[in-house]
Amino acid sequence: MSTAIMDLPNTSVDLSTSIGSLHLPAPTMTASGCAAAGAELAPYLDLSELGAVVTKSVMRQARSGRATPRMAETPSGMLNSIGLQGPGVESFAAHDLPVLEAAGARVVASIAGGDPEEFGELAARLARESAVGALEVNISCPNVANRGLVFACDPGASRAVLEAVSEAVRASGRPDLPVLAKLSPDVTDLVAVARACTDGGATGLTAINTTLGMVVDPVTLRPQLAGVTGGTSGPAIRPIAVRCVWQLTAAKRAGVLPDVPVVGAGGVASGADALQLIAVGACAVQVGTATFADPSAPVRVARELGAELARRGATRLADVVGIAHEPGRGLR
């Protein structure tokens, strides 16, 4: 924990990766909602050393988010119930994006909307910003008052959102802008939702968002969070993330899903954690809740991952992606 990141040298392992047209010199990103606008982490890490900064989800209008308490700690995890607080897309473009660009960060802009039209509008608006290197479509935020709005719980709704986004991207003059669909683990058939997203035009997948949870205050015997339910995150949900990335990758290998990049997210706090997600098929990982305890974590995890791979004699990250699916393929 909190080893000074300077103590972890970069290794000679090639950690570069790609999400479609977005080349990443390092395979770790922040996770949406865990790094605010990104600039908040600048005192603790070099934003340009990250694979990418994934922004807090941007919406059309400013949004206050929910009442407090917004947080509850759980064993090896936490619940959050923020409610997509943010300044709106124009403020994001005017104030937050230039700071990230000046810092040399690659930016994945997370977008969220109340309907497919809002998602499409946001995609069109942000595709105009050259500093945006990819879009992540947050169809899976659990912290909305109307659970019917969790698009990722329904294949048809997921497809409709991704169609609106990909149509806007195609019309934007940047048709190769990568579009990641961020999936929820709270579904019966993850592959069916993922397939709906790629049918709708997603060119990549992020798995997973938080999983819906709840804590009761032991004194009041009422829900502890003002929003009643919240998204569970942290190492407690890592096995769920590993399972989901495994299922998506297995579906790709079986030809059920197109061969799109999968970004792993869920409880990654160390290089060894990241390696699990990579072994089951993630070509990059996001570091979320770990950032709350260690704001240098997204860079530290990449360096630890390099050391993990070097120790196993691997020279390229790409050689290890999905290795868990191939019993015959091994490292020393």
Which residues are identified as catalytic? 141
Using CB under 8 A, pick the residue from 27, 51, 83, 261 that binds other proteins: 83
> Is 332 one of the binding residues for other proteins (CB under 8 A)?
no
What's the angle, vertex CA 286, arms to CA 252 and CA 284, rounded to 5? Answer: 45
Q: How far apart are CA 122 and CA 27, in angstroms?
A: 26
CA nearest to 160, candidates 145, 171, 149? 149
Using CB under 8 A, pick the residue from 144, 250, 307, 323 that binds other proteins: 144
> Is 171 one of the binding residues for other proteins (CB under 8 A)?
no
One character per residue 97-136, x = contact with other proteins (rule: CB under 8 A): ----------------------------------------
Minimum CB distance to other proteins smaller for 146 or for 188: 146
Q: Which residues pair with 205 in a beta bridge?
A: 181, 262
CB of 33 to other proteins, least distance (A): 8
> Is 218 one of the binding residues for other proteins (CB under 8 A)?
no
One character per residue 35-54, x = contact with other proteins (rule: CB under 8 A): xx---xx-xx----------
Q: How far apart are CA 238 and CA 229, in angstroms?
A: 20
CA nearest to 4, candidates 226, 294, 247, 259? 294
Using CB under 8 A, pick the residue from 97, 193, 296, 324 that binds other proteins: 296
CA nearest to 196, candidates 154, 164, 167, 165? 154
- Candidates 64-72, 120-128, 157-165, 179-187: pick the segment binding other proteins (CB under 8 A): 64-72
Q: How far apart are CA 116 and CA 107, in angstroms?
A: 22
Scan for tokens 């804590």, then name that residue.
215
> Is 222 one of the binding residues for other proteins (CB under 8 A)?
yes
The contacts of residue 155 (CB under 8 Å, 6+ apart) are 192, 193, 195, 196
> Is 82 one of the binding residues for other proteins (CB under 8 A)?
yes
DSSP reduced 3-state for 252: helix
> Is 294 one of the binding residues for other proteins (CB under 8 A)?
yes
Minimum CB distance to other proteins smaller for 85 or for 172: 85
> Is 229 one of the binding residues for other proteins (CB under 8 A)?
no
CB of 9 to other proteins, least distance (A): 18
What's the angle, vertex CA 85, arms to CA 157 and CA 119, rounded to 5? Answer: 30
Per DSSP, helices labelled H in the chain are: 89-91, 97-102, 116-127, 155-170, 190-200, 238-253, 271-279, 290-293, 297-311
Using CB under 8 A, pick the residue from 1, 254, 255, 313 that binds other proteins: 1
Number of residues that bind other proteins (CB under 8 A): 56
- Contacts to other proteins by CB under 8 A: 1-4, 33-36, 40-41, 43-44, 56, 61-71, 73, 75-78, 80, 82-86, 88, 143-146, 217, 219-220, 222, 226-227, 234-235, 289-296
